């Protein structure tokens, strides 16, 4: 006997509780493929019903992969590597071999040096103690890089299953949908959405008679920006096309606001250019450092958006950290938002982010 699961999200289908996960009207059970009500609404009305995400349940479920003999595709969002690279992946997938795949390359400016980005990802994986066979860069939406990866996956899996594992919202289901579309022509078979927690159970797509490509629910990482902002704001901060670099000449004692979600204070150093990489829909605002506190208080949710008037209420307060940047070509990374490249060097800055999210510094790969 096989449990009936939703084709779109992998949740176990039930017909009793309309407000619980996996609900489908009894009449839908006679269909060959059953979609739960939440997936149905997401697909047909683009309406996202919030589900109660219990991070422990998902972690436990995904951790059963430890007991399998399979190939792991660890998908991460190259726009938020700190928020999506799973340092504890080995605890979840055991000794299975891992290919690291950076998704969403379509969002990077075309000029990005992909070779350097790959090397940096390899270094990051090593730094956090993650052993990976190889690194690939792909766009699951556009299809870039998937042919090359498909060949490598086929060799590496050696007839075994492939599990696609990663933090919520990195694009696991979109990634698998591309492979389904390539082999059967069917589009958007698995439900995807811009909000975390879309996939709720394992979804197995047969590769041949013996093995499958398996979609898994996202691991919840509290350090992911998506958990701090409203759905509306998330839509604005998530880039939906290639990022246009925005160049700002700043003097010391000037501040740049990233909407009302983050703030960059140039404390000390020579006047210079800062290149900003954020969703084109986030408003950047320059002001004098002296005015910045007051401006924030008055204008967060107004001039400084996102958040908006309503969603500013739920945003954690911004907390400040100071850095001395000595090397030229350094990125200040605002997890889940984007980054600012410092072209020159020898500067002191202060950076403000919502409490719970930490800025990081890296060598730029531009
Ligand atoms: N620009 C861009 N967006 C992508 C890409 N892949 C996925 N997305 C978007 O990222 C969002 C999340 O995609 P999903 O495929 O639902 O992510 P997931 O990892 O399955 O999420 P969970 O099921 O919640 O764990 C959606 O809005 C996708 O359209 C990509 O290659 N490029
Ligand atoms: Mg998914």
Rounded to two decimals, the pTM is: 0.93
Does 279 sit in the ligand 1 pocket, CB within 6 Å? no
Report CA(131)–ligand 1 centroid distance (Å): 25
Q: What is the DSSP letter of 42?
A: H
Q: What is the DSSP letter of 247?
A: E
Does 169 sit in the ligand 1 pocket, CB within 6 Å? yes
**Cis, peptide link before residue 307, omega less than 30° from 0:** yes
Beta bridge partner(s), residue 260: none
> pLDDT digit string (tens) for 248-303?
999 999 999 999 999 999 999 999 999 999 999 999 999 999 999 999 999 999 99
Which ligand has an atom closest to residue 142 CA?
1
The reported pLDDT for the residue numbered 345 is 83
What is the rounded distance in angstroms from the CA atom of residue 27 to the CA atom of residue 359?
50
The reported pLDDT for the residue numbered 230 is 86
For helices 172-184 and 146-157, give the axis angle rounded to 10 degrees: 90
Confidence of residue 231 (pLDDT cuts 50, 70, 90): confident
Average pLDDT (81-87) is 93
Which ligand has an atom closest to residue 174 CA?
1
Write 32-36 long-range contacts (CB < 8 A, 24+).
33/7, 34/4, 34/6, 34/7, 35/6, 35/7, 35/8, 36/6, 36/8, 36/9, 36/11
The reported pLDDT for the residue numbered 52 is 66
Q: What is the DSSP letter of 32?
A: S
Does 196 sit in the ligand 1 pocket, CB within 6 Å? yes
Beta bridge partner(s), residue 352: 263, 320
Give domain limits for the chain.
Answer: 53-224, 236-363
Q: Could you identify the atom of ligand 1 that is nearest to the CA of residue 177?
A: 15
> pLDDT digit string (tens) for 336-346?
999 999 999 89
Confidence of residue 305 (pLDDT cuts 50, 70, 90): very high
Residue (of 162, 200, 207) closest to 180 by Cα position? 207
Cβ 292 vs Cβ 265: under 8 Å: yes
Which fold does the domain 53-224 belong to in CATH? Rossmann fold (3.40.50)
pLDDT of residue 210 exceeding 90, the answer is yes
């Amino acid at each position: 006997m096989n449990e009936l699961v939703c084709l779109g999200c992998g949740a176990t289908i039930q017909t009793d509780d309309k407000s619980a996960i996996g609900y489908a009207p009894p009449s839908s059970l006679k269909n060959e493929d059953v979609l739960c009500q939440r997936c149905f609404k997401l697909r047909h009305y683009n309406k996202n019903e919030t589900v109660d995400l219990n991070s422990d349940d998902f972690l436990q479920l995904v951790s059963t992969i430890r007991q399998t003999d399979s190939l792991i595709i660890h998908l991460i969002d190259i726009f938020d590597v700190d928020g999506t690279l799973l340092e504890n992946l080995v605890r979840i997938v055991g000794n299975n071999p891992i290919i690291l795949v950076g998704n969403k390359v379509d969002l990077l400016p075309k000029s990005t040096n992909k070779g350097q980005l790959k090397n940096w990802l390899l270094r990051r994986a090593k730094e956090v103690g993650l052993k990976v066979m190889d690194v690939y860069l792909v766009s699951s939406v556009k299809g870039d890089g998937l042919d090359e990866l498909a060949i490598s996956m086929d060799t590496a899996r050696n007839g075994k299953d492939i599990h696609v594992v990663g933090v919520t919202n990195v694009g696991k289901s979109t990634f698998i949908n591309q492979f389904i579309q390539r082999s059967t022509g069917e589009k958007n078979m698995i439900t995807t959405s811009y909000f975390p927690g879309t996939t709720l159970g394992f979804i197995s797509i047969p590769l041949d008679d013996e093995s499958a490509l398996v979609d898994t629910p996202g691991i919840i990482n509290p350090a992911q920006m998506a958990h701090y902002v409203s759905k509306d704001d998330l839509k604005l901060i998530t880039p939906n096309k290639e990022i246009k670099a925005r160049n700002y000449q700043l003097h010391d004692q000037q501040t740049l606001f990233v909407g009302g979600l983050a703030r960059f204070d140039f404390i000390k150093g020579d006047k210079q250019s800062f290149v900003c990489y954020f969703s084109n829909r986030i408003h950047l605002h320059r002001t004098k450092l002296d005015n910045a506190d007051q401006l924030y208080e008055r204008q967060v949710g107004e001039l400084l958006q996102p958040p908006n008037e309503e969603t500013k209420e739920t945003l954690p307060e911004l907390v400040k950290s100071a850095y001395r940047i000595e090397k030229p070509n350094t990125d200040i990374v605002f997890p889940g938002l984007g980054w600012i490249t410092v072209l020159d060097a020898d500067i002191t800055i202060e950076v403000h982010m919502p409490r719970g999210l930490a800025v990081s510094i890296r060598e730029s790969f531009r």
